Structure 1
């Protein structure tokens, strides 16, 4: 296993649990059915037994948010895991909560367990699960986002358990992605528990912790083998199918990060695949072209006779009107920002732009110190013309029509690829969708 500061990651994990348990009397294991959260469950159980948490009054809850569609191996594993250790409390949630959709040109989210379309459900609700008919969450609204639900659920459970502090154990690892690396290296100390970099504040007495953040993919499987632990055997099928380990995902089947592996359902579980095709518009296209330039992966290719600017217009005209309006509004915002206000970029990126001969003016360092807390030297620049293409290493940081094309091809209506967050209009639409379904409550 990886050795860090004179101890391997398993030893470090246990020391982190020791630390967490010295301040927190309630732990929630955020369980997804994947390799990381599955190992988290087992390691917490081993620590629970060896340190006699029951005598210390430490409570453990296991929370699983069911996105309706799973491989049979994943369903079997979840069935084995939920309720496995009677000392823990389990919450298997099957509610119509808005989830990310990265495969459709006409919808940015989809609604698992849609109460108006039972006939489209990919699976039936397990008898022990929390569903629309038996849920008693005062904060719940049909159509609320999955991330909002998870946050409010943990705060609600903290109050229900009548505990002092709640630690939510999340099995993310820095190796998985840059976003996950940033989650445990951020400098905003106000959002941590004390000085613990692998923590994040949810509310006054509820914190996320990432005690496995420095584990490698290989460490996961060494631990499973060494301690002879149960795991999701879907990974065995992935391995046999030749899936790269970075693509071995267990999540919402229509999430953007899993588009490139959606086609595996066809080979591994044809019956499930048949249901997926009818569940969300675009599933078949994503299976055929996910992971290719057709969906913004492996480098978008410019069609003959087009500039990236003209290709943007071509792609926009192929979209439904409402979707097209969303893109146009955000693209205009990007153009106004970079050509009127100016944006901050690292100095090494600016040097690359100068070598390319890009036409822009340098406006000096950022002046809003509270907003710009950078680890390296940044400078604000303003483009005289919006670039068509910027062939540099940090391509995503710099505005260009090519970046717009990739955003469209990825079905990224929120334009996260371009650095956008949700707008007030989008939040308002989400609120209206929630109000529409209030009659079911």
Structure 2
């Protein structure tokens, strides 16, 4: 019998049986902060149980939907639960970021056509990162002053006004995380946003589900990136990550086995050589996504032609974003006769306007403190310290590209005693020429160490 039909019949008869092909999630105790799931079972069974638990806890459940693969999983699982519990129509919020594929738009319309979905198609000017240009570090989808540059016409489904938010002054515009609380006024009761965040995508995302053992996937929404400078909501909003323990293989197996629709852009990305783990639908001009700007040129050339004039630096970034010009891979050599600390200050000033420069400097200082909490050792130019994972190249990349979403984190992993000794020797060899340079600079200036 077809495996999907088998699963459907089991569930119809009250038999709770996980799909045999969905990979079990096993807790690795070496991940010191990632707590084990409180139940046993495969990732599909666990996600279904979490979402049902969420519906029991909250008065209002909303799915944050981008059209991407992860939010597609969350949407379909939430719809399953909403239909079973009589909680339809299910609210689905789609923040239209303007520079998106035509197929992404078509897929969202297919979702909106479901009578069990109440889609909010948000097209308000919000703040997005433009890492393509140091002189213009932000851009604003659907900004009225840029109407002549819009990549697409405003969709007929668009919601263009968000009560409580005045986007008139570009300098005062906020990001989507800083605004999302306005969608959930106190009259709705306790509200939760379901997001397709997975722990294996970054250390920050792993940390988000590492704070508690019970209901570790439900987080109080502080607003914004860290809660700073955001519009405060009434304290009635939470975020939930029901598929936090899924991996890329799980994400693609579920739609195949369960017959779910998905965004066909992924088929195009597959055809041009992007492996499943590298396939992303994200705002195109940020630090990480701009490394893949060429995918827009290949997948939808007409869209790319309009994107070229949408933000400053897009054409240059398409050509050079994966080079040291944008601190990808190797970084430029430090000028002689200057310390790394002084060079970082120069780079930050050269690459960012004052407001963004202050943010970048604050982030650099925070990571430096993390290093020196663990060791008094100086940083080597380009070899990570075996205890902390930091080197000066890490900070040079921050000074050139920023780290506004905190996705750049040191790479750490457990090491055997022999591997640690080898890493330590490599670090010391890389550090020594810089120590010699520092000694020469002190000798020339008469400073004492």
TM-score, length basis structure 1:
0.72
Task: Name the residue aligned to 2:121.
Answer: 92
- Provide the rounded CA distance (Å) in 2 between the counterparts of 1:198 and 1:346: 31
The superposition leaves residues 44-81 of structure 1 with CA deviations (integer Å, 9 ceiling, x where unpaired) of 222233x2324xxx662110111111112212212212
Q: Deviations over 1:153-209 (max 9, x none)?
A: 2x23xx4xx44322211111111111111111135x9xxxxx411011125332111
Alignment of 1:21 with 2:58, yes or no, is no
Other structure's SS at 1:171 match: coil
Partner of 2:321: 290
Larger RCO (CA under 8 A, 6+ residues apart)? 1
Name the structure 2 match of 1:71: 101
* Structure 2: distance between partners of 1:395 and 1:102: 30
Which of these residues, 127, 132, 135, is aligned with residue 156 of structure 2?
Answer: 127
What CA distance in whole angstroms lies between the structure 1 residues aligned with 2:274 and 2:386?
Answer: 27
Give deviations 1:242-278, integer Å, cap 9, x for gaps.
1133331112121222111111111111111111111
Relative to its length, the structure with more strand (as a share) is: 1
- The separation in 2 between residues aligned to 1:181 and 1:276, in whole angstroms, is 33
Aligned length: 359
Question: 2:189 matched to 1:138?
Answer: no
Q: Deviating runs (4+, > 3 A) in structure 1?
A: 139-142, 303-317, 324-335, 342-347, 393-400, 411-419
- Offset of 1:14 from its aligned partner? 1.0
Distance 2:163 2:357 in 1: 35
| Equivalent residue number for residue 42 of structure 1 | 76
1:60 maps to: 90
In the alignment, which of 167, 170, 190 is matched to residue 195 of structure 2?
A: 170
Runs (5+) with no aligned partner, structure 1: 190-194, 359-386, 420-441
| Structure 1 residue 325 displacement after superposition | 8.6
- Among residues 144, 147, 151, which one is paired with 1:115 in the alignment? 144
- Alignment match, 1:237: 268
Aligned pair partner of 1:266 in 288, 292, 297: 297
1:343: how far off?
3.2
Q: Is the 8 A contact 2:67 2:263 kept in 1?
A: yes
CA distance 1:418–1:31, shift in 2 (3 Å): closer
For structure 2, which runs of at least 5 residues remain unmatched after alignment? 1-21, 26-38, 222-233, 411-449
Residue pair 1:108, 1:412 contacting (<8 A) in 2 also: no
The structure-2 alpha-carbon separation of the partners of 1:53 and 1:265, relative to structure 1 and needing over 3 Å to count, comes to same
Q: Relative to structure 1, is the Cα distance of residues 394 and 108 closer, same or farther in structure 2, using a 3 angstrom cutoff?
A: farther
Mapped to 1, the partners of 2:235 and 2:404 lie a distance apart of 33
CA RMSD in angstroms comes to 3.3
TM-score under structure 2 normalisation? 0.71
CA shift for structure 1 position 237: 1.0
